[in-house]
Amino acid sequence: MASESPRANLKPLSLHVPEPKFRPGDAVDFTAVDIPAAGAARRPDTADEAKEFIDLAYSMVRVLDENNRAVGPWDPKLTPDTLRKMLRNMALVRAFDERMFRAQRQGKTSFYMKSLGEEAVSIGAAAALAADDMVFPSYRQQGVLISRGCPLEDMMNQIYSNSGDKLQGKQLPIMYSERRYSFFSISGNLTTQYPQAVGWAMASASKGDTRIAATWCGEGSTAEGDFHSALTFATVYRAPVIFNVVNNQWAISSFSGFAGAEATTFAARAVGYGIAGLRVDGNDALAVYAATEWAAERARTNQGPTLIEHFTYRAEGHSTSDDPSQYRSAGEPTAWPLGDPVMRLKNHLIALGEWDEERHAAQDLELAEMVKAAQKEAEKNGILGHGLHQPLDTLFDGVFEEMPWHLREQQAQMMAEEEASGRPWARKK
Protein backbone atom coordinates (compact mmCIF):
# COMPACT_ATOMS: atom_id res chain seq x y z
CA MET A 1 0.00 0.00 0.00
CA ALA A 2 1.41 3.34 -1.07
CA SER A 3 2.21 5.70 1.75
CA GLU A 4 0.10 8.83 1.99
CA SER A 5 1.76 12.13 1.02
CA PRO A 6 3.02 14.03 4.09
CA ARG A 7 1.35 17.15 2.67
CA ALA A 8 -2.04 15.60 1.99
CA ASN A 9 -3.68 17.92 4.54
CA LEU A 10 -2.48 21.08 2.80
CA LYS A 11 -4.67 23.11 0.46
CA PRO A 12 -3.50 23.24 -3.17
CA LEU A 13 -1.23 26.12 -4.08
CA SER A 14 -2.88 29.06 -5.85
CA LEU A 15 -1.38 31.74 -8.04
CA HIS A 16 -2.12 35.40 -7.32
CA VAL A 17 -2.92 37.44 -10.41
CA PRO A 18 -3.09 41.22 -9.74
CA GLU A 19 -6.39 42.86 -10.64
CA PRO A 20 -7.12 46.59 -10.78
CA LYS A 21 -9.82 47.81 -8.42
CA PHE A 22 -11.83 49.61 -11.08
CA ARG A 23 -12.77 48.52 -14.57
CA PRO A 24 -14.87 50.28 -17.26
CA GLY A 25 -18.28 51.07 -15.84
CA ASP A 26 -17.22 50.80 -12.18
CA ALA A 27 -17.72 53.61 -9.70
CA VAL A 28 -14.40 54.96 -8.44
CA ASP A 29 -13.45 55.26 -4.79
CA PHE A 30 -9.88 56.28 -4.00
CA THR A 31 -10.39 56.57 -0.23
CA ALA A 32 -8.12 53.56 0.29
CA VAL A 33 -5.17 55.46 -1.22
CA ASP A 34 -3.04 56.65 1.68
CA ILE A 35 -2.26 60.35 1.24
CA PRO A 36 -0.21 61.71 4.16
CA ALA A 37 -0.73 65.29 5.26
CA ALA A 38 1.30 67.95 3.50
CA GLY A 39 4.38 68.92 5.48
CA ALA A 40 4.42 65.71 7.55
CA ALA A 41 7.49 64.09 5.98
CA ARG A 42 10.79 64.90 7.63
CA ARG A 43 13.67 66.31 5.59
CA PRO A 44 17.01 64.65 6.39
CA ASP A 45 20.32 66.34 5.79
CA THR A 46 21.66 65.60 2.33
CA ALA A 47 24.78 64.12 3.94
CA ASP A 48 22.81 61.53 5.95
CA GLU A 49 23.24 57.88 5.06
CA ALA A 50 20.37 56.31 3.13
CA LYS A 51 19.70 53.75 5.87
CA GLU A 52 18.81 56.59 8.27
CA PHE A 53 15.66 57.66 6.38
CA ILE A 54 14.21 54.46 4.96
CA ASP A 55 10.75 55.64 6.09
CA LEU A 56 10.73 58.29 3.33
CA ALA A 57 10.48 55.52 0.72
CA TYR A 58 7.12 54.51 2.22
CA SER A 59 5.55 57.84 3.17
CA MET A 60 5.18 60.82 0.82
CA VAL A 61 6.88 64.19 0.49
CA ARG A 62 4.15 66.84 0.07
CA VAL A 63 4.39 70.64 0.25
CA LEU A 64 1.07 72.12 -0.94
CA ASP A 65 -1.77 71.56 1.50
CA GLU A 66 -5.55 71.62 1.00
CA ASN A 67 -5.58 75.38 1.60
CA ASN A 68 -3.04 75.97 -1.20
CA ARG A 69 -0.27 76.86 1.25
CA ALA A 70 3.33 75.64 1.10
CA VAL A 71 4.06 73.94 4.43
CA GLY A 72 6.61 71.77 6.16
CA PRO A 73 10.38 71.24 5.99
CA TRP A 74 10.38 70.42 2.27
CA ASP A 75 8.98 73.85 1.28
CA PRO A 76 11.65 75.12 -1.16
CA LYS A 77 10.59 78.73 -0.49
CA LEU A 78 10.66 79.72 -4.14
CA THR A 79 10.18 83.30 -5.26
CA PRO A 80 6.89 84.30 -6.91
CA ASP A 81 8.76 84.83 -10.19
CA THR A 82 10.06 81.25 -10.10
CA LEU A 83 6.60 79.92 -9.29
CA ARG A 84 5.07 81.90 -12.15
CA LYS A 85 7.71 80.59 -14.54
CA MET A 86 7.00 77.01 -13.51
CA LEU A 87 3.26 77.58 -13.90
CA ARG A 88 3.79 79.09 -17.34
CA ASN A 89 5.94 76.15 -18.44
CA MET A 90 3.38 73.62 -17.22
CA ALA A 91 0.62 75.48 -19.05
CA LEU A 92 2.80 75.64 -22.17
CA VAL A 93 3.38 71.87 -22.07
CA ARG A 94 -0.37 71.37 -21.84
CA ALA A 95 -1.04 73.71 -24.77
CA PHE A 96 1.69 72.05 -26.85
CA ASP A 97 0.31 68.59 -26.07
CA GLU A 98 -3.21 69.57 -27.04
CA ARG A 99 -2.12 71.06 -30.36
CA MET A 100 0.05 68.06 -31.28
CA PHE A 101 -2.66 65.62 -30.20
CA ARG A 102 -5.03 67.29 -32.64
CA ALA A 103 -2.36 67.26 -35.34
CA GLN A 104 -2.13 63.49 -34.99
CA ARG A 105 -5.90 63.15 -35.21
CA GLN A 106 -5.75 65.24 -38.41
CA GLY A 107 -3.28 62.80 -39.96
CA LYS A 108 -0.31 65.17 -39.82
CA THR A 109 1.81 62.75 -37.80
CA SER A 110 1.55 59.10 -36.88
CA PHE A 111 1.88 59.18 -33.14
CA TYR A 112 1.85 61.42 -30.07
CA MET A 113 2.00 61.06 -26.28
CA LYS A 114 0.50 63.65 -23.93
CA SER A 115 1.62 64.25 -20.36
CA LEU A 116 -1.73 65.52 -19.07
CA GLY A 117 -1.72 65.33 -15.28
CA GLU A 118 2.03 64.72 -15.12
CA GLU A 119 3.37 68.16 -16.04
CA ALA A 120 4.79 68.81 -12.56
CA VAL A 121 7.09 65.78 -12.82
CA SER A 122 9.16 67.26 -15.64
CA ILE A 123 8.72 70.98 -14.96
CA GLY A 124 9.47 70.75 -11.23
CA ALA A 125 12.59 68.66 -11.87
CA ALA A 126 13.86 70.86 -14.71
CA ALA A 127 13.57 73.95 -12.52
CA ALA A 128 15.67 72.33 -9.80
CA LEU A 129 18.40 70.91 -12.04
CA ALA A 130 21.21 72.94 -13.58
CA ALA A 131 20.70 73.70 -17.27
CA ASP A 132 23.74 71.61 -18.25
CA ASP A 133 22.93 68.58 -16.12
CA MET A 134 22.45 65.68 -18.51
CA VAL A 135 18.93 64.27 -18.69
CA PHE A 136 18.04 60.81 -19.95
CA PRO A 137 14.27 61.03 -20.44
CA SER A 138 11.47 58.66 -21.13
CA TYR A 139 8.78 59.69 -23.60
CA ARG A 140 6.72 62.01 -21.36
CA GLN A 141 9.40 64.52 -20.38
CA GLN A 142 8.81 67.10 -23.10
CA GLY A 143 8.49 69.58 -20.25
CA VAL A 144 12.25 69.39 -19.67
CA LEU A 145 12.94 70.51 -23.24
CA ILE A 146 10.36 73.27 -23.01
CA SER A 147 11.76 74.45 -19.65
CA ARG A 148 15.24 74.63 -21.14
CA GLY A 149 14.08 76.83 -23.99
CA CYS A 150 14.00 74.43 -26.92
CA PRO A 151 12.12 76.13 -29.78
CA LEU A 152 8.65 74.65 -30.18
CA GLU A 153 9.10 74.66 -33.95
CA ASP A 154 12.14 72.37 -33.64
CA MET A 155 10.15 69.93 -31.51
CA MET A 156 7.30 70.00 -34.03
CA ASN A 157 9.67 69.44 -36.95
CA GLN A 158 10.79 66.25 -35.23
CA ILE A 159 7.19 65.16 -34.64
CA TYR A 160 6.38 65.74 -38.32
CA SER A 161 9.66 64.14 -39.55
CA ASN A 162 9.81 66.95 -42.10
CA SER A 163 12.62 68.74 -43.93
CA GLY A 164 13.35 70.80 -40.78
CA ASP A 165 13.81 67.73 -38.60
CA LYS A 166 17.42 67.70 -37.36
CA LEU A 167 17.14 63.93 -36.91
CA GLN A 168 16.21 63.52 -40.60
CA GLY A 169 13.11 61.47 -39.81
CA LYS A 170 15.14 58.67 -38.25
CA GLN A 171 13.40 58.73 -34.87
CA LEU A 172 9.75 58.04 -34.11
CA PRO A 173 7.68 61.17 -33.39
CA ILE A 174 8.30 62.63 -29.89
CA MET A 175 11.57 60.76 -29.49
CA TYR A 176 13.64 63.94 -29.39
CA SER A 177 17.42 64.21 -29.20
CA GLU A 178 18.83 67.63 -28.28
CA ARG A 179 22.53 67.98 -27.50
CA ARG A 180 22.04 71.77 -27.24
CA TYR A 181 19.87 71.24 -24.17
CA SER A 182 21.72 68.27 -22.61
CA PHE A 183 18.77 66.06 -23.54
CA PHE A 184 19.77 62.51 -24.49
CA SER A 185 18.00 60.67 -27.34
CA ILE A 186 14.71 59.12 -26.29
CA SER A 187 14.41 55.42 -27.04
CA GLY A 188 11.24 53.39 -27.52
CA ASN A 189 12.94 50.44 -25.83
CA LEU A 190 11.97 50.58 -22.19
CA THR A 191 14.51 51.69 -19.58
CA THR A 192 17.59 51.66 -21.82
CA GLN A 193 18.12 55.21 -20.57
CA TYR A 194 18.78 54.03 -16.99
CA PRO A 195 22.16 52.33 -17.52
CA GLN A 196 23.05 55.06 -20.02
CA ALA A 197 22.45 57.70 -17.35
CA VAL A 198 24.56 55.79 -14.84
CA GLY A 199 27.39 55.37 -17.34
CA TRP A 200 27.34 59.08 -18.15
CA ALA A 201 27.27 59.99 -14.44
CA MET A 202 30.20 57.68 -13.73
CA ALA A 203 32.15 59.30 -16.56
CA SER A 204 31.35 62.76 -15.20
CA ALA A 205 32.64 61.72 -11.78
CA SER A 206 35.77 60.05 -13.14
CA LYS A 207 36.64 63.25 -15.02
CA GLY A 208 36.12 65.40 -11.94
CA ASP A 209 33.24 67.31 -13.54
CA THR A 210 30.43 68.92 -11.54
CA ARG A 211 27.50 67.94 -13.77
CA ILE A 212 25.11 65.20 -12.71
CA ALA A 213 22.63 63.00 -14.59
CA ALA A 214 18.89 62.52 -14.16
CA THR A 215 16.76 59.87 -15.78
CA TRP A 216 13.07 58.91 -15.88
CA CYS A 217 11.03 55.77 -16.47
CA GLY A 218 7.49 54.62 -15.81
CA GLU A 219 6.62 52.34 -12.92
CA GLY A 220 6.04 49.41 -15.28
CA SER A 221 9.59 49.76 -16.57
CA THR A 222 11.01 48.98 -13.12
CA ALA A 223 10.35 45.34 -14.03
CA GLU A 224 12.95 45.57 -16.81
CA GLY A 225 16.42 44.15 -16.24
CA ASP A 226 18.07 47.44 -17.28
CA PHE A 227 16.48 49.12 -14.26
CA HIS A 228 18.16 46.75 -11.81
CA SER A 229 21.49 46.71 -13.64
CA ALA A 230 21.56 50.49 -13.47
CA LEU A 231 20.84 50.57 -9.74
CA THR A 232 23.54 47.99 -9.08
CA PHE A 233 26.22 50.03 -10.86
CA ALA A 234 24.96 53.26 -9.31
CA THR A 235 25.15 51.98 -5.75
CA VAL A 236 28.54 50.32 -6.19
CA TYR A 237 30.21 53.40 -7.72
CA ARG A 238 28.05 56.06 -6.01
CA ALA A 239 27.22 57.52 -9.38
CA PRO A 240 25.92 61.13 -9.27
CA VAL A 241 22.54 60.29 -10.80
CA ILE A 242 18.87 60.84 -9.96
CA PHE A 243 16.50 57.99 -10.83
CA ASN A 244 12.92 59.18 -11.39
CA VAL A 245 10.15 56.57 -11.42
CA VAL A 246 6.91 58.10 -12.69
CA ASN A 247 4.19 56.02 -11.07
CA ASN A 248 1.16 57.16 -13.07
CA GLN A 249 -0.75 53.98 -12.14
CA TRP A 250 -0.87 52.51 -15.66
CA ALA A 251 1.68 50.96 -18.05
CA ILE A 252 -0.42 51.16 -21.20
CA SER A 253 -3.34 48.87 -20.20
CA SER A 254 -1.51 47.11 -17.36
CA PHE A 255 -2.07 48.64 -13.94
CA SER A 256 0.80 49.21 -11.55
CA GLY A 257 0.15 45.98 -9.63
CA PHE A 258 1.83 44.00 -12.39
CA ALA A 259 5.06 45.85 -11.60
CA GLY A 260 4.78 45.13 -7.89
CA ALA A 261 2.70 48.03 -6.54
CA GLU A 262 0.52 45.73 -4.42
CA ALA A 263 3.50 44.60 -2.36
CA THR A 264 5.30 47.89 -1.67
CA THR A 265 6.11 51.32 -3.07
CA PHE A 266 8.38 51.86 -6.04
CA ALA A 267 10.59 54.12 -3.94
CA ALA A 268 11.27 51.05 -1.78
CA ARG A 269 13.28 49.62 -4.69
CA ALA A 270 16.02 51.93 -3.42
CA VAL A 271 16.14 50.31 0.02
CA GLY A 272 17.44 46.97 -1.24
CA TYR A 273 20.25 48.73 -3.08
CA GLY A 274 21.23 50.89 -0.14
CA ILE A 275 20.57 54.16 -1.94
CA ALA A 276 18.38 57.11 -0.97
CA GLY A 277 14.70 56.67 -1.75
CA LEU A 278 11.94 59.28 -1.70
CA ARG A 279 8.24 58.96 -2.49
CA VAL A 280 6.84 62.27 -3.67
CA ASP A 281 3.46 63.79 -4.50
CA GLY A 282 3.96 63.95 -8.27
CA ASN A 283 1.13 66.43 -8.74
CA ASP A 284 2.78 68.96 -6.42
CA ALA A 285 5.34 70.97 -8.41
CA LEU A 286 6.92 72.30 -5.21
CA ALA A 287 7.42 68.79 -3.80
CA VAL A 288 8.98 67.62 -7.06
CA TYR A 289 11.28 70.65 -7.08
CA ALA A 290 12.28 70.14 -3.44
CA ALA A 291 12.99 66.43 -3.85
CA THR A 292 15.03 67.00 -7.02
CA GLU A 293 17.00 69.85 -5.43
CA TRP A 294 17.76 67.62 -2.42
CA ALA A 295 18.79 64.68 -4.61
CA ALA A 296 20.93 66.94 -6.81
CA GLU A 297 22.82 68.23 -3.77
CA ARG A 298 23.48 64.65 -2.64
CA ALA A 299 24.81 63.78 -6.09
CA ARG A 300 27.03 66.87 -6.33
CA THR A 301 28.53 66.24 -2.89
CA ASN A 302 29.43 62.62 -3.69
CA GLN A 303 26.68 61.13 -1.52
CA GLY A 304 25.56 58.91 -4.39
CA PRO A 305 22.31 58.32 -6.27
CA THR A 306 18.70 58.94 -5.26
CA LEU A 307 15.56 57.19 -6.46
CA ILE A 308 12.41 59.36 -6.49
CA GLU A 309 8.98 57.84 -7.02
CA HIS A 310 6.56 60.44 -8.37
CA PHE A 311 3.09 59.33 -7.29
CA THR A 312 0.82 60.73 -10.00
CA TYR A 313 -1.86 59.75 -12.50
CA ARG A 314 -1.97 59.52 -16.29
CA ALA A 315 -5.13 61.46 -17.06
CA GLU A 316 -5.46 60.35 -20.69
CA GLY A 317 -4.37 57.44 -22.86
CA HIS A 318 -0.87 56.07 -22.97
CA SER A 319 -0.59 57.45 -26.50
CA THR A 320 -2.78 58.34 -29.45
CA SER A 321 -2.85 54.59 -30.22
CA ASP A 322 -4.45 53.80 -26.85
CA ASP A 323 -8.08 53.86 -25.66
CA PRO A 324 -8.15 53.88 -21.84
CA SER A 325 -11.94 53.48 -21.77
CA GLN A 326 -11.35 49.84 -22.68
CA TYR A 327 -9.51 49.00 -19.46
CA ARG A 328 -10.19 51.57 -16.73
CA SER A 329 -13.12 53.47 -15.28
CA ALA A 330 -13.92 56.78 -16.92
CA GLY A 331 -14.25 58.31 -13.45
CA GLU A 332 -10.63 57.76 -12.44
CA PRO A 333 -8.98 60.94 -13.79
CA THR A 334 -11.39 63.33 -12.08
CA ALA A 335 -11.48 61.32 -8.84
CA TRP A 336 -7.69 61.15 -8.43
CA PRO A 337 -7.10 62.45 -4.88
CA LEU A 338 -3.99 64.50 -5.63
CA GLY A 339 -5.78 66.76 -8.09
CA ASP A 340 -4.46 68.58 -11.14
CA PRO A 341 -0.85 69.88 -10.96
CA VAL A 342 -1.51 73.04 -12.97
CA MET A 343 -4.55 73.98 -10.90
CA ARG A 344 -2.72 73.33 -7.64
CA LEU A 345 0.21 75.61 -8.50
CA LYS A 346 -2.14 78.25 -9.90
CA ASN A 347 -4.22 78.22 -6.71
CA HIS A 348 -1.07 78.47 -4.60
CA LEU A 349 0.01 81.60 -6.45
CA ILE A 350 -3.48 83.07 -6.10
CA ALA A 351 -3.40 82.34 -2.35
CA LEU A 352 -0.10 84.24 -2.17
CA GLY A 353 -1.68 87.22 -3.93
CA GLU A 354 0.75 86.77 -6.82
CA TRP A 355 -1.71 85.59 -9.49
CA ASP A 356 -5.38 85.69 -10.43
CA GLU A 357 -7.88 83.95 -12.68
CA GLU A 358 -7.86 86.77 -15.24
CA ARG A 359 -4.10 86.63 -15.74
CA HIS A 360 -4.25 82.86 -15.92
CA ALA A 361 -6.91 82.92 -18.63
CA ALA A 362 -4.92 85.52 -20.57
CA GLN A 363 -1.79 83.39 -20.28
CA ASP A 364 -3.61 80.30 -21.55
CA LEU A 365 -4.78 82.27 -24.59
CA GLU A 366 -1.30 83.68 -25.21
CA LEU A 367 0.30 80.24 -25.03
CA ALA A 368 -2.32 78.68 -27.29
CA GLU A 369 -1.57 81.35 -29.91
CA MET A 370 2.18 80.86 -29.48
CA VAL A 371 1.87 77.12 -30.08
CA LYS A 372 -0.42 77.68 -33.04
CA ALA A 373 2.08 80.07 -34.64
CA ALA A 374 4.93 77.59 -34.11
CA GLN A 375 2.84 74.87 -35.72
CA LYS A 376 2.23 76.99 -38.82
CA GLU A 377 5.95 77.59 -39.19
CA ALA A 378 6.79 73.90 -38.70
CA GLU A 379 4.21 72.80 -41.25
CA LYS A 380 5.91 74.93 -43.89
CA ASN A 381 8.60 72.24 -43.75
CA GLY A 382 6.05 69.53 -44.42
CA ILE A 383 4.11 66.98 -42.40
CA LEU A 384 4.63 63.27 -41.95
CA GLY A 385 1.62 62.31 -44.05
CA HIS A 386 3.06 63.95 -47.18
CA GLY A 387 5.82 61.42 -47.74
CA LEU A 388 9.60 61.51 -47.58
CA HIS A 389 11.10 64.90 -46.71
CA GLN A 390 14.78 63.98 -46.61
CA PRO A 391 17.06 62.95 -49.51
CA LEU A 392 16.89 59.17 -49.66
CA ASP A 393 20.65 58.67 -49.64
CA THR A 394 20.85 60.23 -46.15
CA LEU A 395 19.25 57.04 -44.82
CA PHE A 396 22.74 55.67 -44.16
CA ASP A 397 24.11 58.81 -42.47
CA GLY A 398 24.61 59.36 -38.77
CA VAL A 399 25.63 55.85 -37.74
CA PHE A 400 29.39 55.89 -38.28
CA GLU A 401 31.77 58.85 -38.39
CA GLU A 402 33.07 57.39 -41.64
CA MET A 403 30.70 55.15 -43.54
CA PRO A 404 32.23 51.65 -43.96
CA TRP A 405 32.59 50.13 -47.41
CA HIS A 406 29.71 47.68 -47.12
CA LEU A 407 27.25 50.47 -46.29
CA ARG A 408 28.55 52.64 -49.13
CA GLU A 409 27.97 49.66 -51.40
CA GLN A 410 24.42 49.17 -50.12
CA GLN A 411 23.71 52.88 -50.43
CA ALA A 412 24.86 52.91 -54.07
CA GLN A 413 22.79 49.84 -54.86
CA MET A 414 19.68 51.36 -53.25
CA MET A 415 20.06 54.64 -55.13
CA ALA A 416 20.58 52.87 -58.45
CA GLU A 417 17.40 50.85 -57.95
CA GLU A 418 15.39 53.90 -56.89
CA GLU A 419 16.59 56.03 -59.81
CA ALA A 420 15.70 53.22 -62.20
CA SER A 421 12.21 53.06 -60.67
CA GLY A 422 11.57 56.75 -61.39
CA ARG A 423 10.13 57.36 -57.91
CA PRO A 424 10.18 61.06 -56.95
CA TRP A 425 12.16 60.62 -53.74
CA ALA A 426 15.12 59.03 -55.53
CA ARG A 427 17.17 62.21 -55.36
CA LYS A 428 20.58 62.87 -53.92
CA LYS A 429 21.44 65.44 -51.30
The per-residue pLDDT for range 237-251, each reduced to its tens digit, is 999 999 999 999 999
Among 91, 27, 58, 104, smallest CA distance to 285 is for: 91
Give the number of other Cβ atoms within 10 Å of residue 319's Cβ. 17
Using the Cα atoms of residue 176, residue 179, residue 184 and residue 189 in order, give the sign of their dihedral.
Answer: positive
Label residue 255 left, alpha or beta by phi (over 0 means left) and psi (-120 to 50 means alpha): beta
Q: What are phi and psi of 310, to 5 degrees?
A: -95, 105
Mean pLDDT for 207-235 is 97
Q: For residue range 172-182, list pLDDT tens digits in order.
A: 999 999 999 99
The CA distance from 150 to 119, in Å, is 16
What the chain holds in terms of domains, given with CATH numbers, is: 50-384 (3.40.50.970), 391-421 (no CATH)
pTM of the model: 0.94
The CA distance from 424 to 224, in Å, is 43
Q: Which amino acid is at 419?
A: E
**Band of residue 383 on the pLDDT scale cut at 50, 70, 90:** very high
Per-residue pLDDT, 425: 56
The CA distance from 28 to 226, in Å, is 34
pLDDT, averaged across the chain:
95
Give the number of other Cβ atoms within 10 Å of residue 40's Cβ. 14
pLDDT above 70 as % of the chain:
97
Distances, alpha carbon 378 to alpha carbons 31, 157, 340, 382, in Å: 46, 6, 30, 7
Mean pLDDT for 21-31 is 94
Per-residue pLDDT, 393: 83
Q: For residue range 269-327, list pLDDT tens digits in order.
A: 999 999 999 999 999 999 999 999 999 999 999 999 999 999 999 999 999 999 999 99
SS3 state of residue 245: strand
SS3 state of residue 65: coil
**Band of residue 399 on the pLDDT scale cut at 50, 70, 90:** confident
